[in-house]
């Protein structure tokens, strides 16, 4: 997938079926067409019987909780090695600032502070290395709450007690511009006052306030009406880090050869539009890098019964 196509999908464009294939991919697609339905069903059943993994989910949850607890414990015990919250902190003397928060501050106050430049540069390099939207699934405390809310939503949906009403993904791009304009015009960081990422992070460290009522209401709304509404359709933080993810060396790579196209990966994916290439005849090459909007959560890797999805460091042959 080209960088331009990856960015277009992240900004809200619908993934498209490829207009052409490499010779190797075309041969594989044709071979898969010859497999009878009954044979494919047996292959899927056999693959599922041998596969049961939550490796990356468990590692990710442990990492996310640890990162947030470092902030909490540092404040509680006055260690002062880590000060602040996820939106802005000082770690062992190094200033670190969330990229989206820094943009909001600069737009609102029309000034570029040296500490802000240092903080954003440090954070940019760190998340460039780890993979852009890795921040969302591996660090953001609201993400974990939303992931739990999603499981409740799916359980209720299976009993036909709730129905998902998805929005157009382009809404996030529109809201990104709206929040930027609000900061520029009002001189106030409007988004930061309603961002569940900052609210939950500060509530963990300094204690909950009235703003947590908004967060709880948001989670209830996601359970009942729109699955993962904030992360998928609103949050500009994810979009900001998505641009970093577009050029990150760490990514998820899809291999067409052994894929059974059973769709387990898309069922668990937090942003399923990035896995369109796993559908039949949607992969233009034997290997396809998953697009910039991927959160690198690893759920698809855990779910894939044939190992067709893997983490990869760009430029290195070894897959993690």
In tens, the pLDDT along 135-187 reads 999 999 999 999 999 999 999 999 999 999 999 999 999 999 999 999 999 99
Q: Is the pLDDT of residue 296 over 80?
A: yes
Which residue did the predictor score with more confidence, 317 or 265? 265
Determine what percent of the chain is predicted with pLDDT higher than 90: 72
The pLDDT tens digits for 47-67 are: 877 777 899 999 999 999 999
Residues 6+ apart with CB under 8 A from 90: 82, 83, 84, 96
Q: Which of 296, 279, 162 is nearest to 225 (CA)?
A: 162
Determine how many CB atoms are found less than 10 A away from the CB of residue 125. Answer: 11
Q: Is the pLDDT of residue 320 over 80?
A: no
Q: Is the pLDDT of residue 316 over 70?
A: yes
The pLDDT tens digits for 9-35 are: 999 999 888 888 999 999 999 998 888
The pLDDT tens digits for 218-267 are: 999 999 999 999 999 999 999 999 999 899 999 999 999 999 999 999 99
The pLDDT tens digits for 73-130 are: 999 998 878 889 988 888 887 788 899 999 999 999 998 888 888 889 989 998 999 8
Place of tokens 């897959």: 319
82: phi then psi, degrees, rounded to nearest 5: -125, 120
Report the pLDDT value the prediction gives residue 191, as an integer from 0 to 100: 95
- Strand extents, DSSP E, the chain: 82-85, 88-91, 94-97, 250-255, 287-289, 309-313
On whether the CB atoms of residues 196 and 133 are closer than 8 A, the answer is: no
Report the pLDDT value the prediction gives residue 319, as an integer from 0 to 100: 47
On whether the CB atoms of residues 298 and 57 are closer than 8 A, the answer is: yes
Place of tokens 């015990």: 77
Distance CA 313, CA 121 (A): 22
Q: Is the pLDDT of residue 1 over 80?
A: no
Distances (CA, A) of 84 to 74, 75, 77, 202, 228: 10, 8, 14, 8, 27
For 270-296, what is the mean pLDDT?
93
Report the pLDDT value the prediction gives residue 50, as an integer from 0 to 100: 73
User: pLDDT confidence of 317, banded at 50, 70, 90?
Assistant: low
């Amino acid at each position: 997938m080209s960088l331009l196509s990856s960015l277009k999908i992240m900004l809200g464009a619908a993934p498209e079926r490829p207009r052409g294939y490499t010779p190797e991919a075309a041969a594989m697609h044709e071979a898969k067409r010859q497999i009878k339905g009954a044979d494919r069903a047996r292959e899927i059943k056999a693959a599922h019987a041998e596969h049961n993994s939550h490796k990356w989910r468990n590692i990710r949850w442990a990492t996310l909780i640890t990162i947030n607890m470092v902030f909490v414990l540092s404040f509680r015990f006055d260690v002062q090695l880590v000060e602040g919250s996820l939106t802005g902190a000082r770690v062992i003397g190094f200033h670190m600032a969330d990229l989206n928060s820094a943009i909001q501050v600069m737009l609102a106050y029309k000034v570029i502070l040296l500490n802000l430049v240092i903080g954003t540069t440090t954070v940019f390099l760190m998340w460039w290395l780890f993979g852009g939207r890795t921040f969302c699934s591996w660090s953001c405390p609201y993400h974990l709450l939303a992931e739990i809310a999603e499981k409740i939503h799916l359980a209720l949906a299976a009993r036909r007690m709730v129905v998902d009403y998805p929005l157009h993904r382009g809404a996030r791009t529109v809201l990104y511009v709206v929040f930027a304009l609000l900061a520029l015009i009002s001189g106030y960081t409007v988004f930061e006052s309603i961002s569940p990422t900052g609210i939950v992070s500060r509530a963990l460290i300094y204690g909950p306030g009235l703003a947590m009522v908004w967060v709880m209401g948001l989670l209830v709304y996601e359970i009942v009406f729109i699955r993962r509404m904030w992360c998928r359709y609103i949050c500009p933080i994810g979009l900001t880090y998505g641009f970093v993810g577009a050029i990150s060396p760490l990514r998820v790579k899809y291999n067409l050869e052994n894929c059974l196209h059973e769709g387990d990966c898309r069922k668990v994916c937090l942003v399923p539009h990035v896995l369109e290439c796993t559908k039949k005849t949607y992969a233009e090459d034997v290997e396809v890098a998953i697009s910039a909007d991927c959160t690198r959560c690893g759920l698809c890797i855990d779910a894939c019964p044939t190992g067709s999805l893997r983490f990869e460091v760009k430029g290195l042959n070894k897959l993690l």
